[in-house]
């Protein structure tokens, strides 16, 4: 079983959404964790847009990357440039992947425009998560 960490700046939106989808698509083939360089709390709008797609992340917690220092990850996925640049060193075993997504928490406009930005980012992360979990869990090199 692969151990995968999704890393973002605040572990509030993008990494939480990715964790939800990676768990969904990975099933029992992977253990999924998410963390941030900081821990800002799970954004309620992320919870809401995931619920719209029938994925419940309401029980997720916002964690600091140091909380998982003792876990030997197979893969670390950074989902924002800041986390990619500030990502701590992990054991050589951990493969690194990076895909930067816009931060929906920075969206401005009407409440509906903000939610639409969350949905847009959610959908892009969903597609990426489906692809990467398939690649990571079907890889027989490990």
Q: Which residues are catalytic?
A: 8, 80, 87
Q: Which of 106, 138, 142, 97 is nearest to 6 (CA)?
A: 97
The SS3 of residue 46 is helix
Residues 6+ apart with CB under 8 A from 140: none
What is each CA distance from 46 to 8, 13, 56, 99, in whole angstroms? 14, 6, 10, 18
The SS3 of residue 62 is coil
Q: Which of 96, 104, 84, 89 is nearest to 9 (CA)?
A: 84
Residues 6+ apart with CB under 8 A from 45: 13, 104, 105, 114, 115, 118
């Amino acid at each position: 079983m692969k151990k995968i960490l999704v890393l973002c700046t605040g572990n509030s939106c993008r990494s939480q959404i990715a964790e939800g989808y990676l768990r969904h698509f990975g099933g029992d083939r992977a253990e999924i964790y998410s963390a941030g360089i900081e821990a800002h709390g799970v954004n309620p709008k992320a919870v809401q847009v995931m619920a719209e797609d029938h994925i419940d992340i309401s029980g997720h917690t916002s964690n600091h990357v140091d909380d998982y220092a003792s876990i030997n990850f197979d893969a670390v996925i950074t989902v924002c440039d800041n986390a990619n640049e500030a990502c701590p060193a992990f054991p050589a075993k951990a493969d690194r992947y990076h895909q930067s997504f816009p931060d929906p928490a920075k969206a401005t406009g009407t409440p509906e425009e903000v939610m639409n930005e969350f949905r847009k980012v959610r959908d892009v992360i969903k597609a990426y998560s489906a692809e990467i979990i398939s690649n990571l869990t079907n890889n027989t090199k490990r």
